Structure 1
Amino acid sequence: MLSMDIIAEIRRRHFISHESISAIARDLKLSRPTVRKHLKTTASPAYQRARQPQPKLGRFQSILEQWLETERHLPKTQRRTAQRLFEGLQAEGYAGAYDSIQRFVKQWKSSAAAPGSKQAFVPLVFAPGEVCQFDWSHEQVEINGVFQTIKVAHFRLTYSRQCFVVAYPRETQEMVFDAHDRAFAFFGGVPLRMVYDNLKAVVDTILVGKERQFNRRFMVLANHYLFEPVACTPASGWEKGQVENQVGNIREWLFTPLARFASFAALNAWLSQRCRELGARQHPVYEGSIASHWESERTALRPMSAAFDGYVEAMLRVSSTCLVCVDRNRYSVPAIHAGKAVSVRIRATHIEIVANSIQVAQHARCFGRDQLICDPWHYLPILEKKPGALRHGAPFVQWELPPAVQQVRDRILKQPKGDRAFVELLQMARTAGLDVLQVACELALEHGVVTAAVVLNEMRRLIAPAQPAVLNLPDQLQLKHAPQANCARYDDLRGAQHVLH
């Protein structure tokens, strides 16, 4: 069927320009009967077939209608798509095409919807600094050459429309705490209210209406920043429509095409910069840019006094191999705490281990599985009694020592009782520092004599306090007569002559 534009052109060229039917057909690549037919056309073209036939649906139509009628009462997330319905009919013996099922499902849903059933909404107006909306999204990125799905925390100031996003490997409570710290620091203050979905890190129990039992640890965060948490009605995303819309826009603007970064730190630095740049866009309601309204909204935000110390704490027992297990990864603890209970504070970026209110260990957090993260210094007291573990102990095999120290270690281990000798070097390096051991090893290699005694001697020389060039003494202690070398004075002190036998 030709469009009305083509039909109008045919009639103009024939009746106004007096072109022949053959010339028009040849130029527009149409047949002459088609041109003759449309020379008589004045009304808009209409398709002869208003509805696509479904010859192969047949007896399967009643099955499909029954499924659709049953699933219309289910939540939207639990309803099958047209593709899944098509696969179900194939299992029942349907041999037709997917297009027929797709058209029928679309027509059925249109006819089943009640007239005027489309929801209507009231436009909302927010005061500066009043409300900020929060949501999570899942995005695809490449971090350090590995393609992975990450979690992105979205914040949106509802008055100025300023956005802030930060990426994490997971969607856990400590990530929520860290995201709030970063967002409030970025915005320059704290809003009066924060609006959330009913995510587990925020809401423990959904009660009647708007009543919620919020997570106790999350309420510590809210109490620290003095904002009021508000949870939306379940499956009512329009209650925080701005951030819901932001999720789709950020995916299009920042994560398409695929974002590639060396680390999460580099990715988050770039996301923060891009959020500032997006503030240059025109505000959708008021005159001026988003950044200009954000600048005026800052004065209405409550200033931050201090960042929230956001962590999730767990009491764990240290194993006999001086390890604690967190998220299927094992982290080392000083050997003195083996078999004892310690407090493990899980943060977004690192793990802290506390015993008797004192931090005894800290590790960068690992987000893989079944990884071993060890600090070799934690196992040094064990080496005093079991120096043979130096050769095959996992913390020491994976220990990346400076090249000079590694060379000295390899040569000392070949000597008799070399294990215990190198352990003595490590014990001194624990107090003096690994840099001192490195310099001592370099000096020993330079002299060509590599033994534990030589390296220890060099380390003692390096850490020995420097002698002052000039001694500043009070006048009472100053010498008035310089002593002279006279051995006869010793005879005077004895008060007698030497007796020769």
Structure 2
Amino acid sequence: MEQYERIRRDRRDKGMSIRRLAETHKVHRRVVRQALADAVPPPRKSPDRVSPALGPYEDTIRRWLTEDLQAPKKQRHTARRIWQRLLDEEGAAVAESSVRNLVARLRSEIAGEQVQVMIAQTHGPAEEAEVDFGEFTAVIAGTAMRLHMFCMRLSHSGKAVHVAYANQAQESFLDGHVRAFEAFGGVPTGQLRYDNLTAAVIRVALGRERFEHPRFIALRSHYGYDSFYCIPGIDGAHEKGGVEGEIGRFRRRHLTPVPRAASLAELNVMLAAADTADDDRRIAARAETVGAAAARELPMLAALPAEPFDVAAALSCRVDTKARICVRQSYYSVPARYAGRRMSVRLGAAMIEVLDPDAGVTAGRVIARHTRSLHKGSEDLLLDHYLEVLQRKPGALGGSTALAAARARGVFTSSHQRFWDAARKALGDGAGTRALIEVLLLHRTMAAEVIEAGMTAARKAGLFTAEVVAVEARHAADAARPAAPVVTVAAAAAEAGERPVPSLTGYDRLLDAEQVSA
């Protein structure tokens, strides 16, 4: 560029001829003519070099690199591996450096061939949302677990709802929809985009056609929206890129470092708080925040149905000899009187309900309710379900799994243990244990705190019977109840012009006096 400038300046200022300019600047006269014709030098041509050694193998190398696109990332060809295969399988006599240069060029060409042009989309308010699951790790009750995060994202505002589940089962998939719609306060008026999750799709047909699961069709009909299915595999990921990116962003922003919680319910409270905090963020260069866009969009959503969709699956399970049912490879207790019978079970995303087998699934009375286990092979046993059997076998109480579980949950307290120890010391092991079991049966009709007060009073009095504990518990409940305003029955009746209602107040005072004298 500078040489062209000097040539043009000498021609302009000194009037040199082409021959003189060529001699002065030591260039060919052709270069002088080019400089005088245009101030910008022409682009330098790169010679087309022939590769006689690698030429016959270029198509083979291209094929190997193209096949690598479908192979695991850690098992793809390096330039050195391609060179080794050419020597071993093709008998080529080529230098490794030549192979490296060719591989670098072919990779850039193949990458260019794979680039797909994406058409920018505009989504109207309340029209569309995207749904997907993503994996993450959390520490629940001290145990590191791989969990699954349901995500629904409104395409217009970018507002999303995230819910953690222990699995991607259909009940979790359906429950995620119900909770997301409730969080948004409505349902998109258009369509929801999905990939081909087995919870919704039984089989993929030609094109966009799908054979859908009846329970998913019922959910969609209940809330009144349409579904759109993406192309199977990685080729269709861009068709719901909003939720794909949202899951990764949320995982990096709110789940790093690994979150810790006492239960899955507590973890979901944390995720809900994170969703609220995300209202203050901006997506890319948008002028308004996610929360401001959502404030415009949410009122436009279709109204929720009067009742939420029932996501529970109906199952039938047989009770084993340990008064347990097995649901999804986890065990849950039922009252011991149902041992050996087949039970109707409602399996939800977070709860399991066992119904009275004589009433059916729809109108059945719930006889047992458990929080759904996060671990396969676990046992969730309630001590209350075994009390009638333990009355006949009191020796089995001390080592029972149900008692250990009750202690772990804090249901069997130190007050129970002190009463049990004192009762066994006074009455013997068998009789003392039966006395404790009768006290435990009181929990079905009385509050735990008043029963603890009753056990303390009975233990101090040295009377280890359920009747004494019940009486003392009622006294504790009466003492805790706020006093009613003092209005005599006679005065109230006189004011109303009616006959006085009989009162037992004097009799109660007499009983109190006798108890004090005793």
Instruction: Calculate the TM-score normalised by the size of structure 1.
Output: 0.71
Aligned residue type for 1:138: E
Q: Is the 8 A contact 2:489 2:500 kept in 1?
A: no
User: In the alignment, what sits opposite 2:295?
Assistant: 295
User: In the alignment, what sits opposite 2:161?
Assistant: 164
User: In the alignment, what sits opposite 1:136?
Assistant: 133
1:427 and 1:113 mapped to 2: Cα distance?
72
Residue 197 of structure 2 corresponds to residue 190 of structure 1 = no
2:468 to 428, 453, 457: 457
User: In the alignment, what sits opposite 1:38?
Assistant: none
Matched positions, count? 416
1:322 and 1:376 mapped to 2: Cα distance?
11
1:94 and 1:374 mapped to 2: Cα distance?
66
Q: Shift of the alpha carbon at 1:462?
A: 4.0
String of CA shifts for 1:171-196, please: whole Å, max 9, x gaps.
22121122112211222211022111
Secondary structure of the 1:331 match is: strand
Residue 366 of structure 2 corresponds to residue 362 of structure 1 = no
Q: Is the 8 A contact 2:185 2:298 kept in 1?
A: yes
The more displaced of 320-329 and 252-261 is: 252-261
Aligned residue type for 1:331: Y
User: In the alignment, what sits opposite 2:453?
Assistant: 439
Q: Shift of the alpha carbon at 1:88?
A: 8.4
Q: Shift of the alpha carbon at 1:367?
A: 0.7
Q: Shift of the alpha carbon at 1:380?
A: 1.6
Instruction: Identify if the C-alpha distance between structure 1 residues 189 and 386 changes in structure 2 by more than 3 Å, giving closer, same or farther.
Output: same
Aligned residue type for 2:347: I
1:91 and 1:369 mapped to 2: Cα distance?
48
2:109 and 2:137 mapped to 1: Cα distance?
37
Aligned residue type for 2:471: R
2:435 and 2:111 mapped to 1: Cα distance?
84
User: In the alignment, what sits opposite 1:110?
Assistant: 108
Instruction: Identify if the C-alpha distance between structure 1 residues 281 and 245 changes in structure 2 by more than 3 Å, giving closer, same or farther.
Output: same
Q: Shift of the alpha carbon at 1:287?
A: 4.3
Secondary structure of the 2:388 match is: helix
Gaps of 5+ in 1: 1-42, 52-56, 479-501
Residue 437 of structure 2 corresponds to residue 423 of structure 1 = yes
Aligned residue type for 2:401: A
**Within-5 A mapping of 1:259-338:** 259-282=259-282, 284=284, 287-304=287-304, 305-338=306-339
Aligned residue type for 2:294: W
Q: Is the 8 A contact 2:439 2:469 kept in 1?
A: no
String of CA shifts for 1:69-127, please: whole Å, max 9, x gaps.
5x36xxx5x513354546988998999xx999998765444344675x52222221222
Instruction: Identify if the C-alpha distance between structure 1 residues 103 and 81 changes in structure 2 by more than 3 Å, giving closer, same or farther.
Output: farther
1:383 and 1:261 mapped to 2: Cα distance?
35
String of CA shifts for 1:142-166, please: whole Å, max 9, x gaps.
3444333321122211112222222
Q: Shift of the alpha carbon at 1:471?
A: 6.7
User: In the alignment, what sits opposite 1:247?
Assistant: 247
Secondary structure of the 2:280 match is: coil
Q: Is the 8 A contact 2:422 2:459 kept in 1?
A: no
2:232 to 231, 234, 240: 234
Q: Is the 8 A contact 1:198 1:232 kept in 2?
A: yes
Q: Shift of the alpha carbon at 1:319?
A: 0.9
Instruction: Identify if the C-alpha distance between structure 1 residues 163 and 99 changes in structure 2 by more than 3 Å, giving closer, same or farther.
Output: farther
Aligned residue type for 2:73: T
Q: Is the 8 A contact 2:443 2:451 kept in 1?
A: yes
Gaps of 5+ in 2: 1-40, 89-95, 479-483, 503-518
User: In the alignment, what sits opposite 1:214?
Assistant: 212
Q: Shift of the alpha carbon at 1:461?
A: 5.0
Instruction: Identify if the C-alpha distance between structure 1 residues 64 and 408 changes in structure 2 by more than 3 Å, giving closer, same or farther.
Output: farther
String of CA shifts for 1:432-467, please: whole Å, max 9, x gaps.
4544432222113333x2x424x532423544898x
2:102 and 2:254 mapped to 1: Cα distance?
37
Instruction: Identify if the C-alpha distance between structure 1 residues 380 and 230 changes in structure 2 by more than 3 Å, giving closer, same or farther.
Output: same
Q: Is the 8 A contact 1:413 1:422 kept in 2?
A: no
Aligned residue type for 1:166: V
Q: Is the 8 A contact 2:83 2:99 kept in 1?
A: no
Aligned residue type for 2:315: A
Root-mean-square deviation (Å):
4.0
1:280 and 1:248 mapped to 2: Cα distance?
18
Secondary structure of the 1:366 match is: coil
Aligned residue type for 1:396: L
1:81 to 73, 76, 91: 73
The more displaced of 85-94 and 339-348 is: 85-94
Q: Shift of the alpha carbon at 1:384?
A: 3.3
Aligned residue type for 2:336: A
Identity, % of aligned pairs? 27
The more displaced of 313-322 and 266-275 is: 266-275
Q: Is the 8 A contact 1:425 1:452 kept in 2?
A: no
Q: Is the 8 A contact 1:82 1:105 kept in 2?
A: no
Q: Is the 8 A contact 2:453 2:472 kept in 1?
A: no
Q: Shift of the alpha carbon at 1:338?
A: 1.3
User: In the alignment, what sits opposite 1:256?
Assistant: 256
Q: Is the 8 A contact 1:82 1:101 kept in 2?
A: no
Instruction: Identify if the C-alpha distance between structure 1 residues 221 and 461 changes in structure 2 by more than 3 Å, giving closer, same or farther.
Output: same
2:250 and 2:469 mapped to 1: Cα distance?
59
Instruction: Identify if the C-alpha distance between structure 1 residues 113 and 360 changes in structure 2 by more than 3 Å, giving closer, same or farther.
Output: same
Q: Give the structure with the larger helix fraction.
A: 2
Aligned residue type for 1:373: D
The more displaced of 416-425 and 322-331 is: 416-425
